[in-house]
């Protein structure tokens, strides 16, 4: 019996490790496709991993408890209740966090995830003229009057429709030539625009500026601003204008 339990625990650890690895791949794929991620889709995957892990741990504990102390030792009902409560919590949380993604975008995300895992992808090379053309179009996309980054619904597919380029090629250029993801590239441009607006309009509400540059939530805006500007929007606005101008730099792309 103990040998069976040991084998089950070994399998549990293996599958949990594999699940975490899949989650990381999906996170990278999401950042290659979407410009607005509040971890809702990824929270769904994390939640499923937690639910499975809890079920396995509780099941193992219940088995050991029955084996060592006897089936009527008093905690069997408690174990059963805990499993039911975790499942109920998971179902409610999943209903709240799951976000519908269009089928073409989901398919593209899966293809990107597969490419990220394929060693040949890292070694594949686009010709130099194609890379330069895509880089030029990306730079133009962030400039007025297009300013595509300010569309909060912007995805890699929508961007490529505007650029008239293959999404896989654009994704590869962003990852390999610019050394970043689509998500971080777009949000670095949004933060750059936000810094400019914070300098030019000191009395405009920060939330209004966040909305204007393409962020859907304050938490996402604050996190992106902290990452790309090294400080919070409020702290940035309090700095002297000349310091702000010196500190602001043009992001990649």
Is residue 154 domain-shared with residue 220, that is, in the same domain? yes
DSSP 82-122: HHHHHHHHHHHHHHHH-----HHHHHHHHHHHHHHH-HHHH
**Residues 97-107, mean pLDDT to the nearest whole number:** 59
pLDDT in tens, 31-43: 777 777 655 556 6
**Cβ atoms of 169 and 130 closer than 8 Å:** yes
Mean pLDDT of the chain: 78
pLDDT of residue 182: 92
> Domain of 248: which CATH number?
1.10.10.60
Is residue 252 domain-shared with residue 131, that is, in the same domain? yes
Is residue 131 domain-shared with residue 228, that is, in the same domain? yes
pLDDT of residue 76: 60
**Residues 90-104, mean pLDDT to the nearest whole number:** 57
pLDDT of residue 4: 64
The two tokens of residue 55 are: 């079920």
Is residue 86 domain-shared with residue 129, that is, in the same domain? no
The two tokens of residue 195 are: 């810094």
pLDDT in tens, 210-248: 999 999 888 889 999 999 999 999 999 988 555 545 555
pLDDT of residue 33: 73
pLDDT of residue 8: 63
pLDDT of residue 88: 64
pLDDT in tens, 60-87: 777 776 666 665 555 665 666 666 676 6
- Among 97, 113, 135, the domain boundary falls at 97
pTM for the model stands at 0.66
Please check whether residue 175 lies inside any domain of the structure: yes
State percent of the chain over pLDDT 70.
63
Is residue 186 domain-shared with residue 228, that is, in the same domain? yes
Measure CA of the first residue to CA of the last residue in the chain; give whole Å: 60
Buried b (16+ CB within 10 A) or exposed e, 209-233: bbbebbbeeeebbbbbbeebbeeeb
Is residue 131 domain-shared with residue 222, that is, in the same domain? yes
Is residue 159 domain-shared with residue 76, that is, in the same domain? no
pLDDT of residue 114: 72
């Amino acid at each position: 019996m103990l040998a069976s339990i040991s084998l089950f625990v070994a399998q549990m650890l293996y599958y949990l490790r594999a699940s975490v690895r899949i989650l990381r791949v999906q996170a990278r794929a999401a950042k290659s496709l979407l410009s607005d991620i509040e971890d809702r889709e990824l929270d769904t995957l994390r939640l499923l991993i937690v639910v499975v892990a809890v079920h396995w741990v509780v099941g193992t504990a219940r088995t050991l408890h029955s084996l060592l102390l006897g089936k009527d030792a008093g905690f069997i009902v408690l174990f059963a209740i805990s499993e039911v409560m975790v499942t109920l919590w998971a179902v409610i949380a999943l209903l709240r966090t799951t976000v519908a993604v269009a089928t073409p975008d989901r398919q593209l995300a899966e293809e990107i995830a597969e490419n990220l895992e394929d060693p040949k992808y890292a070694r594949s090379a686009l010709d130099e003229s194609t890379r330069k053309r895509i880089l030029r179009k990306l730079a133009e996309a962030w400039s007025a009057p297009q300013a595509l980054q300010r569309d909060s619904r912007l995805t890699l597919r929508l961007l490529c429709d505007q650029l008239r380029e293959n999404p896989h090629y654009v994704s590869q250029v962003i990852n390999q030539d610019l050394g970043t993801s689509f998500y971080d590239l777009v949000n670095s441009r949004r933060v750059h625009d936000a810094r400019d607006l914070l300098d030019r309009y000191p009395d405009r509400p920060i939330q209004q500026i966040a909305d204007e540059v393409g962020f859907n939530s304050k938490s996402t805006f604050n996190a992106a601003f902290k990452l790309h500007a090294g400080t919070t929007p409020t702290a940035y606005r309090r700095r002297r204008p000349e310091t702000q101008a010196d500190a602001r730099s043009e992001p990649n792309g």
